[in-house]
Structure 1
Amino acid sequence: MQSTVWKYFLVLLALTSCIDPVNINLKPEPDQLVVEGLITNESTQAPIKVAYTQPYTQQVGVIPKPLQNATIYVEDQNNNRFNYYENAPGNYIPESFTGVVGNTYTLTIITEGKKVYQSKPEKMVPTNPVDGVSAELRARPKVDSQGDEIIEYSFQTFVNTSDPAEEKNYYMWRWIGTYEVHTQPQDHTRDVQGTPVPDPLPCCAVCWVTEGHHNISVRNDALINGNKIIKQPIALLPILPENFSFRYHLRVKQYSLTEPAYNFWRILTSQVTGVGSVQDPPPASVHGNIFNVDDEKEVVLGYFGASAVSTDAFFIDRGEVPFAIPRFIYADDCRVLKNSTATKPDFW
């Protein structure tokens, strides 16, 4: 991974330099297996996603190639087996089961070509309940596209919890935000020889949009062992016409981690959130816990984890925004918005 990042950096340098370009011969690298998997003590388990990275090409945004027709299962320390079934290319969903705190789980992947991959055993350690989530208004100056200074408003959200004493604890937080959005499908138009012609749509004007599924933060208890974790930052939510015209629902999930899982997510998140200046240290190689049973030198990306989960949620009401929010104008079916649905969530 580290060599790939530096090769990419050198290509960008060659393209943007003012001196004569240098021809760089990049050796083709083998596709690498990427695994995303997590089991929890919740009744509904997330899918395990498996794909191959794609080799360097001149194209941008190449989609990973899914691993299809694999045999995938999880076993606990008592050899109880939980099978996963492919419901979409590279996406494997489990039979109904609930992870148990204190149990140890191992993932096995067998490809169509009989390659066998396994994870190192992961123990599901407990986590304390979430002691509440909150939000505070933030304001900061910003220069807009016209060069004018404006004030950008947002809500900084936090989570509280208690840390058990006399043991090492590692945490991960994920959040899911949901908001109601209104559009104007009745004002939809279509282009006819360069002229917009009225083309009202029969549906839909009201949707609910979700965001934040893949945003995470991690922390250990090295500085607060046995004390409360107060106001752990979770998400910074910009106040925009589309997301705060009504109210915003935030759900925070707190996950227990083993020390190896914490180290993996800490390194990964630091790379994702880095500013990317030339003074930054070179990206570290992110070692996961999955390996080829017959060839441990093969690099496999990703991590299979087991986490206990506690959760809390709250609404940020429109009335908590101390200024007028412009009306959101979008003359189309609201279902075309990313991650939207016209079905009202149960908690709304």
Structure 2
Amino acid sequence: MKHLIYLLIIAFLACEEVVDVDLPDPQNQVVVEGWVTDSTSAQPIRITRSNAFSSLVPFIPVDDAQVIVQSRDGDVFSYSYTDNGYYEANTAYRGTSGTQYRVRIILDSIEVRSEWDAMPEQVPIDELEIASFQENDPDNSDQQITIYYPKINTLDPGGQQNFYRWIFYKNGELFTEPEPISVQDDRLFDGNLIPNNFQEFDYESGDEMTVQLVSISQRAHGYLSLLRSQITTLGTSSGTTPAIVSGNLFFVDGESEQVLGFFGAVSGSYASETVP
């Protein structure tokens, strides 16, 4: 019986066929990332081309585009290239709540354009508390350590749809682990305190804790939610996502390849505390 099973296994392995799959060349799609904010700055915009999913270089900087940002109020802001795919406004400016903005990009004699995106009203952070909990010291099971995390008290404006993104900083550096994108909508808490549970963003004694509450449009919330699900599935925020995440950009001629990324207008409030 054992001899028969052995022969069947050999026969099965002998029947396996090696299949070579021809993967298509990467399309090097245009990727645009930029936000007009309510803080006076050069309002940077990044333009790159995507690379193959398996490539060690996730993007290719675009350094020869013509870039302008327009407002519905008639303002026009010209941009110039700086470095690594980034373009900055020639004159610093700030966005205005309630005003719509879009970007126009000339690339290889073809225009890329974003849809209009209105800047929401700023929602202020009322109070930033430093909360804490105890957990076992990973280096010494007989001791416990204190983990600090942000607890924010903020009232959501009632009677309207609001969409939010939370951004965290530790000692002035962007804090992206373990949650690179944190978004909310007020469907379940309209007009009440905005719920938050940010225990995964752990700080230590002496750290500078900074939290930014960003008001975003519904379209931006949908884009960031989809991007977050892609990053979470992939397990990293530094690589090319395995599926296309559609934003609000397009080639005007309607015949060129899809444009990736998002351009929008956001307003934000900050709060900072030093962990005791």
TM over 0.5: yes
Identity among equivalent positions (%) equals 27
The separation in 2 between residues aligned to 1:76 and 1:261, in whole angstroms, is 17
Whether the 8 Å contact between 2:203 and 2:209 is mirrored in structure 1 is no
| 1:172 partner amino acid | R
Counterparts of 1:1-348 in structure 2, within 5 Å, are 22-55=19-52, 60-94=55-89, 95-111=91-107, 113-140=108-135, 154-178=147-171, 210-212=173-175, 215-233=180-198, 236-237=201-202, 239=204, 244=205, 247-274=206-233, 285-295=244-254, 298-317=257-276
What's the CA shift for 1:211?
A: 3.5
The separation in 1 between residues aligned to 2:143 and 2:22, in whole angstroms, is 47
What's the CA shift for 1:296?
A: 5.5
Whether the 8 Å contact between 1:153 and 1:238 is mirrored in structure 2 is no
CA gap of 1:56–1:130, structure 2 versus 1, over 3 A, is closer
| 2:175 partner amino acid | G
Whether the 8 Å contact between 2:203 and 2:275 is mirrored in structure 1 is no
Whether the 8 Å contact between 1:175 and 1:235 is mirrored in structure 2 is no
Residues 51-90 of structure 1: CA distance to partner in whole angstroms, max 9, x if unpaired? 0011356xx5214111112111100012210111111141
CA gap of 1:165–1:108, structure 2 versus 1, over 3 A, is same
The separation in 2 between residues aligned to 1:78 and 1:140, in whole angstroms, is 54
Long gaps (5+) in structure 1 = 1-18, 179-208, 277-282, 318-348
Residues 237-285 of structure 1: CA distance to partner in whole angstroms, max 9, x if unpaired? 254xxxx4xx111221111111111111112113323486xxxxxx764
Whether the 8 Å contact between 2:51 and 2:60 is mirrored in structure 1 is yes
Q: Over aligned residue pairs, what C-alpha RMSD do you find?
A: 2.9
Comparing 118-127 with 22-31, greater Cα deviation is found at 22-31
The separation in 2 between residues aligned to 1:149 and 1:53, in whole angstroms, is 49
The separation in 2 between residues aligned to 1:55 and 1:142, in whole angstroms, is 41
2:6 — aligned with what?
none
What's the CA shift for 1:213?
A: 6.7
The separation in 1 between residues aligned to 2:29 and 2:274, in whole angstroms, is 42
The separation in 2 between residues aligned to 1:218 and 1:257, in whole angstroms, is 9
Residues 17-38 of structure 1: CA distance to partner in whole angstroms, max 9, x if unpaired? xx88642221223111111100
Task: Count the aligned residue pairs.
Answer: 253
